[in-house]
Structure 1
Amino acid sequence: MRAFLGTDDVEGLIDRPVAEVSRLAGGTKKGVYRVRLGGDSGTVILYRWTAAENYWPSVATAPDDPFDGEAGMAEFEANHAALRGAGVRVPELLELSHDGAFALVEDAGSESLERLMERDPVAAAAPLTELGAALRRMHADVTGHYGPLTRPAGPQRPAEDMVVDRALRHLAAAAEQDTRLAAARERIADRLHRLRAAVTPRREFALVHGELGPDHVLVNEAGEPVLIDFEGLVRFDAEWDHAWTAMRFEADYPRLEPPPLDPARLDLYTYAQVLSLIEGPLRIAATDFPDRQWMLDLAEWNIAKVLRQ
């Protein structure tokens, strides 16, 4: 049984009177808790990075894979500073404890952009417009190397080659668990290589959230979009972000006013991400993750997608 935090535990961590603690659903690598402080002092959000909060089993990765590295407190601290420096709204950092492996941030509310888009598309228009502007600011901040902000720059192979190798690892792992993918494995690999062959060289790497869907954006009382779950922020091709946001925002994606993109690079990254959305859910579904069926359904959705393509 996993040990999550209770009121006494949190009060011992943050050294403040605590009236109530609620663990919020959705986290797979960290624990997220809403903490109601004593004395009518409002609420804050506590992030906690420990093995007990991380459901992901470790797997072998390539040394230059920027997406499968650590996603803990050091990454949170560096990425928080980088996003603020780019003029992107993130929760205000109130306290950071490396000893206790936790961060205390402002409570930006419980209204996600995803729920607002479903409930009131008109009210979601302004946050969508500002989110698109925030993405453009992130993607305008470019350097000549890719990777996590906490990893020193060094010699690197082309980003698109790294993505193909990563996708082939995901395909191999998923094919071991699904006979349909095993039967189609060669054709899927051929398609990956054809998509790679169409990509022309480029070395301009932006700040990329990596998993920016409407569920990773809160809308606060002022109507501002607030980015969360950004430990996976890396420097990479802007098309990586847009491949993800196009999938997650679907019909609302044009409302983000995306800039001109490299269509060949976008096609490759979209296909690679579909494969990652098979391997990852199948891997975490084999653990004690509480919503196992949701992960299996997500994998099945993407298996059908990759086989259609």
Structure 2
Amino acid sequence: MSRVFGSSYFVARVSRMHGGAQKVVYKIECSNGFSCVLYVWDLSMNYFKEEKENEDINEQSYGSHLFELNNRYLTQHGIQTPALYDLNKVRDRYSFDYALVEYIDGRMAETYFHHPELRVQDKVFQRVGEMLTAMHTHERHVFGKANANESSMGQCHLLQMENAKVQLAYASQHIEKIRSNQSKLLDKLYELESKIQPRQQYGFIHGELGPDHVMVNDKLEPFLIDIEGAMFYDIEHEHSFLQMRFGDFYRYLKNDALDHDRLLFYQFHHHVSLTSGGLKLLHRGFPDQQFAQGLADYQSERALRFIEG
């Protein structure tokens, strides 16, 4: 803190913040009233370590290099995200990368689902919708990371196709209903994919944009967090996730120009992937075991609905 901000920044308190399953997050409070956030990318503390070590370059969503890249891209294009004060990738004293990031004094967007004032709700989610539209309208003909400049081979949805097969195989080992319907679920995956027409136009997406990945400050301004997975991709991938996570509040975020076949395919993929994700959190000691079990149960039921009738 002294090196980055100066000798008057004495650390008074460090507290672990609610974080995801991949990086560790702390709030640092100084005696002079200043606060910031410490991000730690320690792969040994990542609940998806095995997957991250074997991830395809076009699917990578973990690491300080991606945070730095996407922080710069979003900031340059007017999409609000906490400022990056300092990033340390030297690893001379520690085996991990870490960063000091702006602390947004506010609440996650999901807390506004239950806000008593409709006027406030409208303002918050309209602004989230405007931010989302602005981000998605940054387009190019190549899918992948913001710094990718070579033409990508194939269609981006095929990456999710292969991922769905892997996650379905994992889920079938642990959930009886998935195991007994595995062939039907696989057939449905192929059926949904077969309806997708080729495309070479991709928007910039967050990649996992739930209401817990939007911080809202005291001026009701939204900021994107957990941005490592952002990239150019089918925006239907994002919207299918938004529909699921924002529920009734998706009406503020909707886009009437989406490809319906892509939406259905990505919806199905999310249900299968999140079923497997919940199981892995359950099996790997995630602190909130009730959440992990509930995630696996709910998403498996949603996936099975695709083959009913």
TM beyond 0.5: yes
Query: Which residue identity is paired with 1:295?
Result: A
SS at match of 1:240: helix
1:82 is matched with: 73
SS at match of 2:87: strand
* Cα-to-partner distance string for 1:241-264 (whole Å, 9 max, x where unaligned): 101111111111011242410011
2:68 is aligned with 1:71: no
2:94 is matched with: none
CA distance in 2, matches of 1:259, 1:95: 40
Contact in 1 for aligned 2:207/2:229 (Cα 8 Å): yes
2:99 is aligned with 1:103: yes
Shift in Å, 1:154: 4.6
CA distance in 2, matches of 1:193, 1:32: 39
1:236 is matched with: 233
CA distance in 2, matches of 1:139, 1:225: 16
Count, aligned residues: 297
1:112 is matched with: 108
Distance 1:187 1:62, change over 3 A: farther
CA distance in 2, matches of 1:151, 1:287: 33
Query: Which residue identity is paired with 1:129?
Result: Q
Shift in Å, 1:303: 0.8
CA distance in 2, matches of 1:50, 1:62: 16
Query: Which residue identity is paired with 1:93?
Result: L
Shift in Å, 1:145: 1.7
CA distance in 2, matches of 1:13, 1:183: 57
Shift in Å, 1:79: 0.5
2:176 is aligned with 1:199: no
* Cα-to-partner distance string for 1:146-205 (whole Å, 9 max, x where unaligned): 223355635412222222221111111111122211110111111111111111111111
Shift in Å, 1:13: 9.2
Contact in 2 for aligned 1:57/1:284 (Cα 8 Å): no
* Cα-to-partner distance string for 1:99-123 (whole Å, 9 max, x where unaligned): 2511112211241110122223431
CA distance in 1, matches of 2:283, 2:151: 35
Cα-Cα RMSD: 2.1
CA distance in 2, matches of 1:128, 1:223: 9
Contact in 2 for aligned 1:19/1:37 (Cα 8 Å): yes
5 Å-filtered alignment, 1:1-309, equals 16-38=9-31, 40-59=32-51, 63=56, 66-67=58-59, 69-99=60-90, 101-120=97-116, 121-149=118-146, 153-309=150-306
Contact in 2 for aligned 1:11/1:18 (Cα 8 Å): no
Query: Which residue identity is paired with 2:82?
Result: P
Distance 1:178 1:257, change over 3 A: closer
Contact in 2 for aligned 1:145/1:203 (Cα 8 Å): yes
Q: Which runs of 5+ in 2 are unaligned?
A: 92-96
Q: Which runs of 5+ in 1 are unaligned?
A: 1-9
SS at match of 2:101: strand
Distance 1:11 1:88, change over 3 A: same
Shift in Å, 1:55: 2.2
SS at match of 2:140: coil
CA distance in 2, matches of 1:37, 1:14: 11
Shift in Å, 1:14: 7.8
Shift in Å, 1:305: 1.1
Compute the TM-score of the two structures, normalised by the length of structure 1.
Answer: 0.89
Contact in 1 for aligned 2:11/2:28 (Cα 8 Å): yes
Shift in Å, 1:86: 2.4
CA distance in 2, matches of 1:122, 1:13: 40
CA distance in 1, matches of 2:55, 2:40: 27
Percent identity of paired positions between Structure 1 and Structure 2: 29
Distance 1:257 1:275, change over 3 A: closer
Shift in Å, 1:29: 1.0
Distance 1:48 1:63, change over 3 A: closer
